[in-house]
Amino acid sequence: MDYYEIEGGIPLRGEYRVKGAKNSALPIMAATVCRAGVHELYDCPRIEDVFIMEKILQALGARTYWQDHCLVVDSRNVCESVVPAELMTEMRSSVFLLGSLLARCGEATIYRPGGCNIGKRPIDMHISGLQQLGIEVEVSGEYGEKVSCCGVCRGGTVTLPYPSVGATENLIMAALSGDGDTIIENCASEPEIADLQGFLRLCGFQVYGCGTDTVFIKGSGSTISRMPSAETMYFIMEDRIEAATYIMAAAGTGGRLVLRGIRPELLKEVLRAVERMGAAVHASGDIIEVISPRRLRSPGIVVTEPFPGFPTDCQPQLLTVSTVARGLTTIREEIFESRFTHKKELIKMGANIETCGKNAIIKGVPFLHGEKVEALDLRGGAALVLAGLMAEGRTTVTGVRHIDRGYEDLDKGIRTLGGLIERRTCD
Ligand code: EPZ
């Protein structure tokens, strides 16, 4: 089991080019099943969740191979509609295969992991949306982990009870082969959904409105199976959460960072928060510069919300930086039920944090001290790396496998900015 060894207290300084987005690559990889063809996905991050999704696609009959950061998916021979149970892992994005397999072959079976460290993660909205579109869904297995769907989307209007990112993406894909046209209302408007739309249009589908709360999908009916195989080249969008994580690392260490390949409009609330904390932010085109004072002040009250609000995937990182900011910070996590998983570890490092339900109250302390801490989930783990960079002394972060799910070479990126971090393997 690998761990990170970090010597803290060094301000991060330098430039970093943001990589491709995990939360865009995963649905787009699933979407390669919707249209038979050879799909070249550029700027695809080399992370564990992508490698697991690759195995799932191979199990369905697709061929995949890498050319540096381009993942090529040949989905012409996809012939299976059951995602093998043994590939059921904490990676939750197998659920996207429901929509894409329904579009391709009119049936789909996946096995889903139960809840994860940040919450129950049900898929009731996916299932009810599919049923409203005329799809038959059967949930079975001791824990309801087996989900089988079949039928053809009849089209119509579905209103989501909550702007779920995954449910929006799944229903879009399921509706592609619909006999009728589909309108999905109260959709999530995350930029990654617009990225999925860009890829689907390249595949010849008619999808409109992604990035807003209402999406229109023209049902292609049974013509999908008669579509000639496609050859597509698509550039996956930048990872705004990776960018936000580096911004928080620079802010927390009193550093100075230039991020390249990131549109500032994707991070408005994150940039507003670090500015409230006293950092100077200069943004133009696809470059963001953050200059942080030696000691930050509290960002005040921050509530996580669906896009364009403050992203839940950056809440653990902000909470960590707030532990040494001057004053009192209140963070309310409105998206997931238990996303303060790293609180205990931060308190071991000297933080002053009280949580009550959705709220975390953080009283800024002068400094954190290095400790041995354990990552329990992806973003909480990244936040503990930030804590180690900010702390005085040495910090060991175990459970790096959680971090590998969503960050490519996080330690390497931090080293290019002058941070002292090494990846080690337990004997
Ligand atoms: C996506 O997860 C992201 N993952 C998450 O990123 C992100 O935190 C989340 O959207 C919110 O932005 C990917 O895109 C692969 P949701 P998703 O459906 O689709 C509840 C990361 O760290 N809900 O918008 O699962 C759900 O439990 C990951 O990169 C239902 O109750 O998120 C949650 O409380 C973490 N029933 C809330 O809605 C459903 O059927 C938002 O979930 C679906 C969701």
Distance CA 257, CA 288 (A): 8
Does residue 6 sit in the same domain as residue 68? no
Q: For residue 116, what pLDDT is reported?
A: 78
Q: Which of 70, 79, 116, 203 is catalytic?
A: 116
Domain final residue pick, 200, 235, 270: 235
Does residue 57 sit in the same domain as residue 113? yes
- pLDDT tens digits for the chain (427 residues)? 899 999 999 999 999 999 999 999 999 999 999 999 999 999 999 999 999 999 999 999 999 999 999 999 999 999 999 999 988 776 788 899 999 999 999 999 999 877 678 998 899 999 999 999 999 999 998 888 899 999 999 999 999 999 999 999 999 999 999 999 999 999 999 999 999 999 999 999 999 999 999 999 999 987 777 788 899 999 999 999 999 999 999 999 999 999 999 999 999 999 999 999 999 999 999 999 999 999 999 999 999 999 999 999 999 999 999 999 999 999 999 999 999 999 999 999 999 999 999 999 999 999 999 999 999 999 999 999 999 999 999 999 999 999 999 999 999 999 999 999 999 998 7
Nearest of 378, 349, 347 to residue 360 by alpha carbon: 347
- The beta strand positions in 37-181, using DSSP E, are 37-42, 63-67, 70-74, 107-111, 136-140, 146-150, 156-159
Distance CA 23, CA 304 (A): 17
Does residue 306 sit in the same domain as residue 201? no
In this prediction the pTM is 0.97
Distance CA 285, CA 22 (A): 22
Distance CA 242, CA 56 (A): 24
Q: How many residues does the chain have?
A: 427
State in Å: Cα 30 to ligand 1 middle: 16
Q: For residue 316, what pLDDT is reported?
A: 98
Domain final residue pick, 219, 235, 251: 235
Does residue 112 sit in the same domain as residue 200? yes
116 is catalytic: yes
Total domains present in the chain: 2
Distance CA 250, CA 396 (A): 19
Does residue 132 sit in the same domain as residue 266? no
State in Å: Cα 309 to ligand 1 middle: 14
- CA 217, 218, 223, 226 torsion: positive or negative? negative
Does residue 192 sit in the same domain as residue 287? no
Q: For residue 9, what pLDDT is reported?
A: 97
- Which residue, judged by its Cα, is nearest atom 25 of ligand 1? 166
DSSP 132: H
State in Å: Cα 251 to ligand 1 middle: 27
Q: The CATH number of the domain where 159 resides is what?
A: 3.65.10.10
Pairing of strands 328-332, 70-74: unpaired
Does residue 322 sit in the same domain as residue 343? yes
- Which residue, judged by its Cα, is nearest atom 32 of ligand 1? 165
Does residue 224 sit in the same domain as residue 331? no
Ligand 1 atom nearest the C-alpha of 169 is 19
- Domain that includes residue 330, residue range: 2-19+239-425
Does residue 214 sit in the same domain as residue 261? no
Domain final residue pick, 200, 217, 235: 235
Does residue 248 sit in the same domain as residue 141? no
Does residue 118 sit in the same domain as residue 207? yes
In the three-class reduction of DSSP (H, G, I as helix; E, B as strand; rest coil), residue 225 is classed as helix
Distance CA 200, CA 193 (A): 11
Does residue 216 sit in the same domain as residue 252? no
